Structure 1
Amino acid sequence: MKPFYAILANGSTAALAGPTGAIDWLPIPRFDGETIFGRLLDWHTGGYLSLEPDQYDQVEQSYLSDGLCLETRFYTQDGIARVRSWMSVGRTAVWLACETPVPLRLTCRPAFGYGAVRPAYYPTSTGMRYQNPKGPEQAQLAIQGPFQTTHRIDQWTIGPGQATIVLRVTTEEPADVRWLTRPIPNDPERLWERTAGYWQAGRVAYEGPHAQLLTRSLDILRALTYRPTGAPIAAATTSLPEIPGEARQWDYRYVWVRDSAYAAEALLLAGDMVAARRIAEFLLNAVSPTERVFPAPFLRVDGTLPDGERDLLWLQGHDESRPARAGNGAISQLQLDLAGSVLWLVYHLWQTEHNDGWIRYYWWAIESLAEWARHTWTQEDASLWEYRTIRSQHTHSRLMNWVGLKAAAELAQEVLGAHESATRWARVAQRIQDTMERDAAKAGEFTPRPGSESADAALLTLPLYGFIDARHPWFERTLERIENTLVDQDLVYRYREDDLGTARYPFLLAGFWYARVLMRQGRREDADRVIARHAAQATPLGLYGEHVELDTGRVRGNFPQLFSHTGLITTLMERQRLEHGQPLLSWSTVSLF
């Protein structure tokens, strides 16, 4: 994927804008909905919205400093044409405000149902209304300012001068959509100021390197968060390939339990307690105390269970990578690290706030997670990497069960005085620790799973969760294997191969884990070099994908990626804490073992 896509968002869904500002991606009414613009996955039939001159010499883009408002500047022979685009918080609407010395061509070509359904067109005095003939979806395009119609039903000539264009989108029934036809406010500056306040609320204080990139990453976490529930999705897109032309393309527009817990930890470190607690409460409320604690590794943004995976065979796919997919087949997987990820988050929220009442309120969920970890830690699972066929007792999954049980035991003892529960969970955590240490002693290092001689970047998390000191000989040999096998030019592969073949590109989150380990070893210069290398992998607008091509720097995988941005935030905030002599997230001094 070209490294120049920008994200626009409104707390319900997100659009991607290309190098000229064209909206090539917009699901409605939510992140996980079907698209109205999907040219990202099919250049010919996917649909798009654009505003640009016919001829220009150069184009530049940047976000405004106060939020995700994209300014696209076209340098023409007659001057600079400026187009600003954003989404308003609330009802879904895409706004384009332009000031131009030359005429601009406005093209609005929606396609409903992932490009499968052509709309019905109804011309209006200010633009066009679009209706899905097979569903309730509709949109209203309205233009304020100088414009002319053309011989094409989907194009208009805008300017020269100032103009504002809004595309309002809804999936409501026609009787409930009078807001579609309301006049455009005559002051788009004021309208953006109100929207900018939403982005400013997610900013935090930070003093340190890569400050602009940290701010952008916080914006991306907010952009990927479903405002009504506070839950973040893993990425804004589906089916952007890890490896173009192959089969590694998945739908990431769901709330992964693990990814969300990582995001909340990053926000906690950054000082945004409200956002971190909202994520934690979404995850705790999703717990099922009488069944499998999480019915799936991921959920819809409203907390319900998604459908299975289906192929969108009519789409050519991004970079001709087929099939494009809606839904994710990992829904049925057993991933045993999830409970520990949530309990670690809950534990550190309590450490930060000491809100005993909050712990008591959610004790039913905390107890359920701990009991699930106690009973399942010996089972085989798909690991955090979501292997499609590999099932084993993965070391990282065992680590997270240890984390979860230790956290629950300390909360039981410190908050509730529930010594019996604390002892029960502490004993199983000790059994897990003994098992992992016995395996490590036998191999002389930690391995991805018993008997394996491969390298796995997930093992970098062992000292990050306080299981072992980063300078312990077992871990140092583990790190040496990772550095010799997975680290290339300071970027880190998560592994070299899996059940789908060779891993082609480094995995950005793993590189941030690596930098955090180096900081814990006291290798501060090495850590700063790795951080700088990863900062350089962001796109010109400060966005990360899941993977990056080692030689070209092109981002790969779904975009923008929650994992990668949380990795940057966590790493920079830990670095700042170490610079100021502040403690990192860790276990309390009270030990039950």
Structure 2
Amino acid sequence: MARIEDYAIVGDLQTAALISNEGSVDWLCLPRFDSPACFAALLDGPEAGRWLLAPAGGGTCTRRRYVEDTLVLETEWENTQGTVRVIDFMPPRGQAPDIVRIVEGVSGSVQMHGELTLRFDYGRVRPWVHQDGDQLLAVAGPDAVRLRTPAPTSGHEWSTVADFTVSAGDRVPFVLTWSASYERHPRPVDAEQALRDTFTYWKEWCGRGHDLSGRYRDAVRRSLLTLKALTYQPTGGIVAAATTSLPEQVGGPRNWDYRYCWLRDSTYTLQALIAGGYLDEAKAWREWLLRAVAGDPADLQIMYGVDGTRRLPESELDWLRGYQNSSPVRVGNAAADQLQLDVWGETLDGLALARESGLAATEDAWDLQVALMEHLETIWDQTDNGLWEVRGPRRHFTHSKVMAWVATDRMAKAVRRHPTLHGPADRWEALRDTIHADVLAHGFDQDRNTFVQSYGATALDASVLIIPRVGFLPGDDPRMLGTIDAIQRELTQGGLVLRYQNAESDDGLPGGEGLFLACSFWMVDALHLAGRQTDAIGLFERLLDLRNDVGLLSEEWDPAGKRQLGNTPQAFSHFALVTSGLQLHAGRGHGSHEPIRHPGVPTR
């Protein structure tokens, strides 16, 4: 089975496909990110569904790349017969989702082999496949998929195969289209026109952002494109990753479904997109938020479905073996019911950043923020499950309290700075001071000169590295310098940062996990804000080396196996890359509530 870093992503801003460097689409949920997969080989094997399109001899590609600043993927193979290229993309959604694959002969004459194995409902349902005019039609229950191609096809052992030869200059298109089986089939798209439209869309989208430059331009731009690919255009929601159940340890049980909209991940993604100059995404996300959290502020959840769905029941798909036998495979996420106090801070911080970046305030948006703040005033001193969604006893997590401080700080400043925004600024400022003192009194270990994971504990936690980034303390404060030293001494492996200590005892699951990549980016930020620029740059560039050949990062890194782990592509990793890269490029620190300003580029 392919490694996690062997996959590239294409998407249409409503769902995404993962394509291996062997030319196989091994993951695709239709019609949206959180729908059941029709290709689930990623979590089992070919029999669970895939779409292979590669030279008949098979094997890993010679090279691949995204075409310029787009999500158009080119994969090339060179063999004794010649060179062939497969162009993969998903055009901007029209009537229905399409995935288009164009086989292009570059030199010589290469024998190609295609193998389409459709399995609806995460590999469980074999469809009925038959010829329907000039296309193949596969139907089962509510799902219908059509394949159009001039290449010869035939059925073989519940798959559709295509064997053909391409010579230099040949272009053989394959267009796969999903629709509801009970609706009229959508208009077919022309593969070549769809390619032009897709290329134009992504180039125009990139052109709307800041004109990025500098040594990290390509890495930042690719991460911004990846974050955009994780947005759900119809609603403005932003998913944490395109996959479910890719393991945090190969063979282990920490396999979670990330195809939902965490408020935390979404707001951090929002910050990265705004820093890149994409304010339209902030407006769309704010509208999604207003709909998703409408009602009693006490009912605020840490995550929602892409359409704002609140109930995300967790279940296991026992017919799938899991990625490299990492079971169980889970869909849904029980963490949706947890109390995580930091979410209030991240949400209000994200809205504050959007406002300070030029997104006009609305009465509804401000009323929501006031309601969230007023509820937080009544619960900030409670225990919670924390940033890492610990499935054990609740605690007073230091990071949660710091983010409660962020909420009060941003709301008080909003009232002071904007005459049209009304609220009890004096009361919020007093609460801000109370929380600040509380954190310093209970979340800081005086004897060891370091912030700790939770009140009264000794364990370290990488989440406290964000303290200077959100403005709670200056980056060169002696308490932060001590925290950096303690984490580097006690919470790193091979120079990269662990999330926290005692993971097994916290969630009751056996085994361990990889290194959560965002934590090392937070160390980059902390080092930068502490004035240790050389160390920050060295760590950042080492992290860049962990990306795969097309610039993608999953959730975690396995230092022993030297491979990526966890769901992919992971928004948490990519927005952390964007933030760190832009800070290093700008050459100065900033709080997350202040827009990053680039040399020569005005902030909108």
- The alignment's TM-score, normalised by the length of structure 1, stands at 0.92
User: How far does the alpha carbon of each residue in 1:417-447 deviate from its partner, in whole angstroms, 9 at most, with x for none?
Assistant: 6776111222111111111122237554322
Q: Is the 8 A contact 1:496 1:502 kept in 2?
A: no
Q: Is the 8 A contact 2:252 2:511 kept in 1?
A: no
Report the Cα offset of residue 240 of structure 1.
0.5
Q: Of residues 473, 480, 484 in structure 1, which corresponds to 2:485?
A: 480
1:543 aligns with 2:552: yes
Report the Cα offset of residue 29 of structure 1.
1.0
Gaps of 5+ in 2: 596-604
Count of residues in Structure 1 that have an aligned counterpart in Structure 2: 574
Q: Is the 8 A contact 2:179 2:186 kept in 1?
A: no
1:141 aligns with 2:147: yes
Q: Is the 8 A contact 1:545 1:556 kept in 2?
A: yes
Paired residue for 2:214? Answer: 208
Paired residue for 1:379? Answer: 382
Q: Of residues 73, 76, 89 in structure 1, which corresponds to 2:92?
A: 89
Give the letter for the 1:556 counterpart.
Answer: L
Give the letter for the 1:111 counterpart.
Answer: R
1:237 aligns with 2:240: no
Q: Of residues 155, 160, 165 in structure 2, which corresponds to 1:159?
A: 165
Q: Is the 8 A contact 2:104 2:171 kept in 1?
A: yes
Q: Is the 8 A contact 2:39 2:119 kept in 1?
A: yes
Paired residue for 1:15? Answer: 17
- Aligned counterparts of 2:282 and 2:38: Cα–Cα separation in 1: 32
- Aligned counterparts of 2:181 and 2:156: Cα–Cα separation in 1: 31
User: How far does the alpha carbon of each residue in 1:160-205 deviate from its partner, in whole angstroms, 9 at most, with x for none?
Assistant: 343111111112523x2242xx3x52xx443212112332244232
- Aligned counterparts of 1:436 and 1:88: Cα–Cα separation in 2: 49
1:529 aligns with 2:559: no
Q: How does 1:67-86 map to 2 (within 5 A)?
A: 67-86=70-89
Paired residue for 1:435? Answer: 438
- The structure-2 alpha-carbon separation of the partners of 1:364 and 1:558, relative to structure 1 and needing over 3 Å to count, comes to same
User: How far does the alpha carbon of each residue in 1:346-396 deviate from its partner, in whole angstroms, 9 at most, with x for none?
Assistant: 2222222273xx153412101011112211111111101000113101110
Paired residue for 1:352? Answer: 357
1:337 aligns with 2:349: no
- The structure-2 alpha-carbon separation of the partners of 1:118 and 1:345, relative to structure 1 and needing over 3 Å to count, comes to same
Secondary structure class of the residue paired with 2:115: strand
Paired residue for 2:112? Answer: 104
- The structure-2 alpha-carbon separation of the partners of 1:583 and 1:241, relative to structure 1 and needing over 3 Å to count, comes to closer
After superposing the two structures, state which structure 1 stretch, 384-393 or 414-423, moved more: 414-423
Q: Is the 8 A contact 2:252 2:512 kept in 1?
A: no
Give the letter for the 1:471 counterpart.
Answer: D
Paired residue for 1:409? Answer: 412
Give the letter for the 1:381 counterpart.
Answer: D
Give the letter for the 2:569 counterpart.
Answer: P
Q: Of residues 554, 565, 574 in structure 1, which corresponds to 2:583?
A: 574
1:51 aligns with 2:56: no
After superposing the two structures, state which structure 1 stretch, 358-367 or 302-311, moved more: 358-367
Q: Is the 8 A contact 2:481 2:530 kept in 1?
A: no
Paired residue for 1:591? Answer: none
User: How far does the alpha carbon of each residue in 1:31-75 deviate from its partner, in whole angstroms, 9 at most, with x for none?
Assistant: 000011111111043111111122267622221114111111121
Q: How does 1:272-283 map to 2 (within 5 A)?
A: 272-283=278-289
- The structure-2 alpha-carbon separation of the partners of 1:229 and 1:201, relative to structure 1 and needing over 3 Å to count, comes to farther
- Aligned counterparts of 2:251 and 2:59: Cα–Cα separation in 1: 33
Q: Of residues 425, 437, 456 in structure 1, which corresponds to 2:428?
A: 425
Q: Is the 8 A contact 2:147 2:177 kept in 1?
A: yes
After superposing the two structures, state which structure 1 stretch, 265-274 or 375-384, moved more: 265-274
RMSD: 2.1
Secondary structure class of the residue paired with 1:393: coil
Q: Is the 8 A contact 2:349 2:593 kept in 1?
A: no
Among all aligned residue pairs of Structure 1 and Structure 2, give the percentage whose two residues are the same amino acid.
31
- The structure-2 alpha-carbon separation of the partners of 1:492 and 1:502, relative to structure 1 and needing over 3 Å to count, comes to farther
User: How far does the alpha carbon of each residue in 1:479-533 deviate from its partner, in whole angstroms, 9 at most, with x for none?
Assistant: 2211111223331111132223564421110111110111111111111001101
Report the Cα offset of residue 131 of structure 1.
0.1
User: How far does the alpha carbon of each residue in 1:297-322 deviate from its partner, in whole angstroms, 9 at most, with x for none?
Assistant: 11111112133100000111111011
1:117 aligns with 2:125: yes
- The structure-2 alpha-carbon separation of the partners of 1:354 and 1:12, relative to structure 1 and needing over 3 Å to count, comes to closer
Give the letter for the 1:338 counterpart.
Answer: V
Q: Is the 8 A contact 1:490 1:533 kept in 2?
A: no
Paired residue for 1:562? Answer: 571
- The structure-2 alpha-carbon separation of the partners of 1:138 and 1:57, relative to structure 1 and needing over 3 Å to count, comes to closer
- The structure-2 alpha-carbon separation of the partners of 1:502 and 1:445, relative to structure 1 and needing over 3 Å to count, comes to farther
Report the Cα offset of residue 578 of structure 1.
2.3
1:463 aligns with 2:468: yes
User: How far does the alpha carbon of each residue in 1:205-255 deviate from its partner, in whole angstroms, 9 at most, with x for none?
Assistant: 211223222121111111111011222100000010001112100000000
User: How far does the alpha carbon of each residue in 1:244-279 deviate from its partner, in whole angstroms, 9 at most, with x for none?
Assistant: 112100000000000000001111112212113322
Give the letter for the 1:391 counterpart.
Answer: R
Report the Cα offset of residue 545 of structure 1.
0.5
Secondary structure class of the residue paired with 2:43: coil
Q: Of residues 37, 40, 52 in structure 1, which corresponds to 2:39?
A: 37
Secondary structure class of the residue paired with 1:315: coil
- Aligned counterparts of 1:10 and 1:292: Cα–Cα separation in 2: 35
Q: Of residues 397, 413, 436 in structure 1, which corresponds to 2:400?
A: 397
1:306 aligns with 2:315: no
Report the Cα offset of residue 125 of structure 1.
4.8
Paired residue for 1:517? Answer: 526
Give the letter for the 2:461 counterpart.
Answer: D
Q: Is the 8 A contact 2:120 2:127 kept in 1?
A: yes
- The structure-2 alpha-carbon separation of the partners of 1:29 and 1:587, relative to structure 1 and needing over 3 Å to count, comes to closer
Secondary structure class of the residue paired with 1:11: coil
User: How far does the alpha carbon of each residue in 1:271-295 deviate from its partner, in whole angstroms, 9 at most, with x for none?
Assistant: 212113322332243234524251x
Give the letter for the 1:23 counterpart.
Answer: V
Report the Cα offset of residue 116 of structure 1.
0.9
Q: Is the 8 A contact 1:5 1:16 kept in 2?
A: yes
- The structure-2 alpha-carbon separation of the partners of 1:189 and 1:44, relative to structure 1 and needing over 3 Å to count, comes to closer
- Aligned counterparts of 2:90 and 2:196: Cα–Cα separation in 1: 12
- Aligned counterparts of 2:539 and 2:12: Cα–Cα separation in 1: 33
After superposing the two structures, state which structure 1 stretch, 268-277 or 510-519, moved more: 268-277
User: How far does the alpha carbon of each residue in 1:332-354 deviate from its partner, in whole angstroms, 9 at most, with x for none?
Assistant: 11111111101111222222227
Q: Is the 8 A contact 1:6 1:16 kept in 2?
A: yes
Q: Is the 8 A contact 1:285 1:365 kept in 2?
A: no
- The structure-2 alpha-carbon separation of the partners of 1:466 and 1:584, relative to structure 1 and needing over 3 Å to count, comes to closer
